[in-house]
């Protein structure tokens, strides 16, 4: 897996790892997983260290497990950046953190009409889940009340599931989210406990885990994943995947770092498509029954191999991320059709043109708002920490 560091421990595949990879019977491993085997750290590392010529065998093993639990379905998510900019945290990957110089939209939590318009667009795109994200270390009372008011209305009118991503939560806040109808909460581990202090110092890995325990205790589903390609080792990636298994996360978004100019990780080396596919396969085999979502950075790093990612993952964001653009929805629809897969529920996929103003080619482009009224000028300023240069995973952000 490529990283910015030149230290051999971060980029090289050791002789022992290569030997372990050579010994794996991937098809047998898939059968073992389906029979209840829990993939070990050594097996997971061997998958990440496997040679490119084994890639199809690795994906075949992941697909056998994915198909057994999710068939050929693809779950669509829609991401709404409901509050953006001026983050008080120092997450190195985040385009909105206090250490970032990246130009991003800045606005306070959006008004009801704007959030409802985005929900309408999510429903039109056949998304099952509307992900409401705010930029904040944690929600203040005004933001909590805004979420409590809008969630029942969105669910009643559009029948969408709601995933709230509001940063660090108290036990009482998690209970309030459950009471107003939120289905799940996203708060990402982002990386391993050991590596976390190298990407953020204003809160800890333990803080994030505590929020996830509050979410679980409130009876909400847990959505938690990470960002790949921040300079971490394969051991860090495996440790995160196994910790998510221990947390029994129902949904795991996997992001691939979009190294935004102006962030501390702006010069981070890019991953290869093969790196990304091995990572997705490893997450699937370690977490066989969890929904696995290919999230921010998939267009940048998987490139023409994006369709292969769905042989391990069973979920996608349709449209844009937080501060970066995704590919036009119709390209996602065509990819799903070409694979012979179908959207969850067997719905007919729409045929739509890319919305005006979307610049899909610019790596460092800001996210266009999903409706015309959502502009930084009309929405005002803000503070908080949520959206990130990974293309979607930050401060608890999805």
Question: Judging by beta carbons within 10 Å of its beta carbon (0-12, 13-18, 19+), is residue 111 exposed, middle or buried?
Answer: middle
Report which of residues 327 and 82 the model is more confident about. 82
Confidence bin at 148 (pLDDT 50/70/90): very high
Q: Average per-residue pLDDT in the chain?
A: 82
pLDDT given at position 265: 61
Q: Which residue in the block uniquely carries the two structure tokens 């100019």?
A: 261
> What would the mean pLDDT of 214-235 be, rounded to a whole number?
96
> What would the mean pLDDT of 206-210 be, rounded to a whole number?
97
Confidence bin at 338 (pLDDT 50/70/90): very high
- Is the pLDDT score of 35 beyond 90? yes
Task: Look at residue 190 and give its three-state secondary structure.
Answer: strand
* pLDDT, tens digit, 9 for 90 and up, residues 51-61: 999 999 999 99
pTM, two decimals, is 0.83
Q: Output the CA torsion sign for 8, 306, 327, 160.
A: negative
Q: What are the Cα distances from residue 289, in Å, to 71, 241, 246, 252, 383? A: 12, 13, 13, 10, 37
CATH fold of 67-344+373-379? TIM Barrel (3.20.20)
pLDDT given at position 13: 45
All structural domains of the chain with their residue ranges:
67-344+373-379
pLDDT given at position 105: 78
Q: What residues are labeled active site?
A: 87, 91, 94, 131, 163, 223, 293
Yes or no: say if 252 and 283 are a contact pair by the CB < 8 Å rule.
Answer: yes
pLDDT given at position 384: 30
């Amino acid at each position: 897996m490529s990283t910015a560091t030149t230290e051999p421990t971060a980029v090289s595949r050791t002789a022992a790892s290569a030997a372990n990879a050579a010994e794996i019977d991937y098809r047998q491993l898939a059968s073992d997983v389906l029979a209840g085997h829990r993939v070990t750290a050594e097996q997971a590392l061997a998958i990440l260290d496997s040679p490119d010529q084994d890639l199809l065998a690795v994906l075949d093993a992941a697909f056998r497990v994915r198909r057994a639990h999710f068939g050929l379905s693809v779950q669509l998510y829609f991401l709404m950046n409901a509050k953006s900019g001026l983050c008080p945290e120092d997450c190195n990957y985040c385009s909105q953190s206090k250490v970032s110089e990246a130009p991003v939209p800045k606005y306070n939590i959006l008004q009801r009409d704007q959030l409802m318009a985005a929900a309408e667009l999510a429903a039109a795109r056949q998304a099952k889940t509307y992900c409401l994200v705010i930029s904040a270390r944690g929600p203040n009372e005004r933001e909590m009340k805004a979420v409590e008011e809008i969630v029942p209305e969105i669910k009643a009118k559009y029948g969408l599931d709601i995933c709230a991503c509001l940063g660090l939560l108290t036990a009482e806040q998690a209970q309030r989210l459950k009471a107003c109808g939120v289905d799940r909460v996203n708060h990402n581990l982002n990386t391993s406990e050991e590596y976390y202090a190298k990407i953020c110092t204003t809160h800890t890995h333990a803080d994030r885990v505590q929020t996830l325990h509050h979410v679980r205790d409130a009876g909400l589903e847990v959505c938690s994943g990470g960002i790949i390609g921040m300079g971490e080792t394969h051991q860090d990636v495996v440790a995160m995947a196994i910790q998510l298994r221990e947390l029994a996360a129902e949904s795991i978004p996997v992001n691939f770092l979009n190294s935004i100019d102006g962030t501390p990780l702006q010069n981070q080396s890019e991953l290869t498509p093969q790196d990304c596919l091995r990572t997705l396969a490893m997450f699937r085999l370690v977490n066989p029954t969890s929904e696995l979502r290919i999230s921010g950075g998939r267009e940048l790093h998987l490139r023409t191999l994006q369709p292969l990612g769905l042989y391990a993952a069973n979920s996608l964001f349709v449209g844009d991320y937080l501060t970066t653009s995704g590919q036009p929805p119709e390209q996602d629809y065509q990819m799903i059709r070409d694979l012979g897969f179908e959207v969850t529920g067997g719905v007919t996929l729409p045929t739509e043109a890319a919305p005006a103003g979307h610049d899909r080619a610019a790596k460092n482009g800001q996210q266009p708002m999903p409706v015309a009224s959502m502009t930084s000028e009309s929405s005002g300023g803000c503070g908080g920490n949520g959206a990130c240069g990974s293309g979607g995973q930050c401060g608890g952000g999805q």
